[in-house]
Structure 1
């Protein structure tokens, strides 16, 4: 059975290398999400994703995203849901940011612009990973974060701070959807993921044991097999 191409959108503050551990099994298309000098709005990245599909001659894709990548996937649904054949939402949420979270994002954006990203791994890594992360995973997280452009980190924070609630968008989605979350995800916890799966018309829920917010990096094999099994069941 022919299936749609899989496009995976990475989390913040990372790039497409977040997906390196799942490439062999999933064969995804993994664009880097970059704002450049454009206005900080996730719709900007959504339009880039749609342009990428056009350039590759892809009419419909299975669209997946982890954390910020999930926000971008929802922005694509706002723009043109007809291009989405299936949806994978990993460690993400539909609701808009609370005032405190929004203020923290804007504060981080300002500090990164002033100081660079040297301090960022120590500020965010503990919250991103499960309670007993592998040392190699911790090193990889630090390496990827320290390799980011401060201007892009600041752009992404401001864009996420401004994102709207997308619950109504997900409620209208009429394609197979997988909601995947780490057991110990404290940023977008399992209870929130279950609620999101319930909002979707054809939503399935999968929880990965022992890991936190970065499921494709912490448990790449489990993540990839969960997506493959769901695609076989859903026929996408």
Structure 2
């Protein structure tokens, strides 16, 4: 049975969708500025394969109330929030699946509670390595610099999708992404640019698979490969013809996820 409800966490209401299953639950984490709606097709597919599924909207995103202090620009804050969510829901050794900032948060969760996870699948993680150059300026919105935030999101999403994705699917993904709150998005992006957990990755003991879309406009596959190289036992995979949003671009994503975690099952961290 599909359940969608609000859970009070840190004094604020978080919107969480869940589906029961006989296999471990999959905690699905969305991208910057977006919400759990990115997993609307994947969640049903995973449930049909027997996985439990948990899809939260991070604070300030989608239908969740904002964090007490306003927009978050620290991905590790989201990580700690997710750890509290896992505890509050009583999830037993879940998988953590995340894309972009969600992939970075998934890896961050693994640095804190590997023994409590069945494994991590990180898609095009956008943080982890910190800033490669000068630290980025604090997040800010300037109308003169970005007269149309909607167009910036729309065209950026179109360019970030892979060449194998049909145009009508790209159009739908881009339209759905335009429903974001840019005050949240710019803070999330700042969080990705400053997120640095390189020194903690070697301590991850649960199974990890890190994937990169070959056509990702936002996060170069070479950067994702650098992240995978820092997790001693991580499996890395390049996805031809796929961009920055694999769970939205790939029709049979749930089946692929099942194959990706096949080697995870029965492995004790």
TM-score, normalised via structure 1 length = 0.82
**Which residue pairs with 2:132 in the alignment?**
98
- Measure, in 2, the Cα distance between the counterparts of 1:204 and 1:173: 13
The CA deviation at 1:126 is: 4.1
Confirm or deny: 8 A CA contact 1:77 1:169 kept in the other structure. no
- Measure, in 2, the Cα distance between the counterparts of 1:183 and 1:120: 22
**Which residue pairs with 1:130 in the alignment?**
162
**Which residue pairs with 2:100 in the alignment?**
67
Alignment of 1:69-84 (within 5 A): 69-84=102-117
**Which residue pairs with 1:226 in the alignment?**
256
Alignment of 1:1-236 (within 5 A): 3-27=23-47, 28-35=53-60, 36=66, 37=70, 39-93=72-126, 94-99=128-133, 102-103=136-137, 106=139, 109-111=140-142, 117-131=149-163, 133-164=165-196, 166-221=197-252, 223-235=253-265
Confirm or deny: 8 A CA contact 2:115 2:206 kept in the other structure. no
Query: Comparing both chains, which one has the higher relative contact order based on Cα–Cα distances under 8 Å and sequence gaps of 6 or more?
Result: 1
- Measure, in 2, the Cα distance between the counterparts of 1:185 and 1:158: 19
Q: 1:190/1:156 Cα in 2 relative to 1: closer, same or farther (>3 Å)?
A: closer
- Comparing both structures, which one devotes a greater share of its residues to strand? 2
The CA deviation at 1:86 is: 0.6
- Measure, in 2, the Cα distance between the counterparts of 1:158 and 1:197: 22
Moved more, 185-194 or 88-97: 185-194
Gaps of 5+ in 1: none
Confirm or deny: 8 A CA contact 2:99 2:123 kept in the other structure. yes
The CA deviation at 1:67 is: 0.7
Q: Which secondary structure state, in structure 1, belongs to the residue aligned with residue 142 of structure 2?
A: helix
Q: 1:195/1:157 Cα in 2 relative to 1: closer, same or farther (>3 Å)?
A: closer
RMSD over aligned Cα atoms: 2.8
- Measure, in 1, the Cα distance between the counterparts of 2:73 and 2:226: 28
- Measure, in 2, the Cα distance between the counterparts of 1:204 and 1:226: 15
- Measure, in 2, the Cα distance between the counterparts of 1:134 and 1:111: 34
- Measure, in 1, the Cα distance between the counterparts of 2:173 and 2:136: 23
- Measure, in 2, the Cα distance between the counterparts of 1:115 and 1:189: 27
- Comparing both structures, which one devotes a greater share of its residues to helix? 1
Q: Which secondary structure state, in structure 2, belongs to the residue aligned with residue 87 of structure 1?
A: strand
- Measure, in 2, the Cα distance between the counterparts of 1:182 and 1:160: 18
Confirm or deny: 8 A CA contact 2:136 2:193 kept in the other structure. yes
Aligned residues: 230
The CA deviation at 1:213 is: 1.4
The CA deviation at 1:190 is: 3.0
Q: Which secondary structure state, in structure 1, belongs to the residue aligned with residue 262 of structure 2?
A: helix
